[in-house]
Amino acid sequence: MIVRRTILIKLSKDKCDVDYILRLMALTNLAYRGYEIWAPDLPKTIQHQLYGSFKNFKGSLVFGAVPKRWFAKTWVPLNTLRVYPDVSVKGDRGAPIVLDFRSNVIKLHQVCRNEPRYVVTIPMPKWVIDRVKEGGDIKFAMVGLKNNEPYLALTAERVVEPYQPSDYILAVDINSWSHGIAWGLIKNGNIIKWKSETPNLREIDNLYNLSVELSREYGKLKRLGLDKTVEGKRLWRKIKRLRRKLYAKLRDYSQKLVHRLVKKALRHRALVIIDDMIEESRRELLEMKLPSGLRKLYLMYTRRFVKLLVTQLEWYGVPYRFKRLPSTVCPICGHELTQVESRVMICENCGFKAPRDKVPMYWAIKVAQNLNFRQGFLAYERRGYI
């Protein structure tokens, strides 16, 4: 199985001409539609990337999905040349992106500005070195704009086969962010450990509320035509800083949690069972009457968390399955559970009782038994007993 991971690296606007990248992106959009247009004033080497080797890219681009609209901004795919410490070389010698692992730099040839022999050199991110150590290779790169800022995207690729799981299971129940993510480690049908993890919600709420408050003030200034004054500009910078901090906190939290979960799964060679009921999370958030902006933010980061988790599980060859792990249905008798105080669920039919976030772990045991049964059955079938 080929697995991929991507990193985005911000490029300096001083060194990178945004208009030039915009033109390259427009040409890429056309290339996706099968049009070959050679702009006479653009470097041939770069345009060659679009028409010469484009077919190789098409199937392997991570977020280079076919653009939905005409003139939608499409990232520009580029070949790479990799030079390793033992001076072995991989890739295309004429590639505009050179990853030099001898001096740990990346060189971008004519990617940032339409000038002959224009080169931008950036330090090699630790991320790249780590992925290469894990057996990955950076075959592809892309440049493009995100919020009008130039970025370089590097995609690491690796061939990996998922391992044969041990008797451990790691169940991950993804609730809305407000109730966090519950995980449980299960061995032979016993819940060894379980935990419900939540980010520091008060801090996030505070940052959000403050940014909304300041945005309102800024709106007032704007209506009065005072948004370009020193005071207005200062306020705008403050809002942007707050938002950046808020996003960074959420991102950081999910990255760290994903990292911990993946390490846990690897340590026990566990099978990972994930329940990502985004719809249920959305409903739960609606019930909590959160401001809609914050609700959207939580949902967005919940989705990103799932994506990040799956990408990393695949990268390390951890087998995983998506299964429903309900927290409101009794795992013993299937009766609906009733929630009593402090998020405890009870079954009025059979007497089952557990904290709400622990119920999914019982379901995971059940799911795993079914999976095992099926696998045993298949093995039996293969041996010709049935």
Binding site for Zn ion (CB under 5 A): 330, 332-333, 335, 347, 349-350, 352
Tell me how far CA of residue 185 lies from CA of 180, 271, 375, in angstroms. Answer: 17, 10, 21
Rounded least distance, CB 339 to Zn ion, Å: 14
Rounded least distance, CB 324 to Zn ion, Å: 17
Integer Cα distance of 360 and 32 in angstroms: 44
Q: How many CA atoms lie within 13 A of 367 on its CB side?
A: 23
Q: Which is nearer to Zn ion, 282 or 353 (CB)?
A: 353
Integer Cα distance of 25 and 32 in angstroms: 11
Q: Which is nearer to Zn ion, 166 or 338 (CB)?
A: 338
Q: Which is nearer to Zn ion, 182 or 345 (CB)?
A: 345
Q: Report whether 121 contacts 12 (CB < 8 A).
A: no
| Torsional sign, CA 372, 374, 376, 382 | negative
Residue located via tokens 């001898």? 102
Q: Report whether 158 contacts 175 (CB < 8 A).
A: no
Q: Which is nearer to Zn ion, 276 or 357 (CB)?
A: 357
Rounded least distance, CB 346 to Zn ion, Å: 9
Integer Cα distance of 274 and 200 in angstroms: 23
Q: Which is nearer to Zn ion, 166 or 349 (CB)?
A: 349
Give the burial class of 99: count Cβ atoms within 10 A of its Cβ; 0-12 exposed, 13-18 middle, 19 or more buried: buried
Rounded least distance, CB 195 to Zn ion, Å: 24
Residue located via tokens 């008798």? 333
Rounded least distance, CB 188 to Zn ion, Å: 22
Residues 6+ apart with CB under 8 A from 345: 327, 328, 337, 338, 339, 353, 354, 355, 356, 359
Rounded least distance, CB 63 to Zn ion, Å: 45
Q: Which is nearer to Zn ion, 123 or 334 (CB)?
A: 334
Integer Cα distance of 223 and 232 in angstroms: 11
Q: Which is nearer to Zn ion, 112 or 325 (CB)?
A: 325
Q: Which is nearer to Zn ion, 10 or 335 (CB)?
A: 335
Amino acid identity of 285? L
Rounded least distance, CB 366 to Zn ion, Å: 12
Rounded least distance, CB 345 to Zn ion, Å: 10
Q: Which is nearer to Zn ion, 156 or 345 (CB)?
A: 345
Rounded least distance, CB 326 to Zn ion, Å: 12
Integer Cα distance of 136 and 104 in angstroms: 16
Nearest CA-CA partner of 318 in 361, 366, 269, 284: 269
Integer Cα distance of 278 and 258 in angstroms: 17
Q: Which is nearer to Zn ion, 95 or 337 (CB)?
A: 337
- Beta strands 320-322 and 271-275: pairing type? parallel
User: What is the DSSP annotation of 143-176?
Assistant: EEEETTEEEEEEEEEEE--PPPP-SEEEEEEE--
Rounded least distance, CB 335 to Zn ion, Å: 4
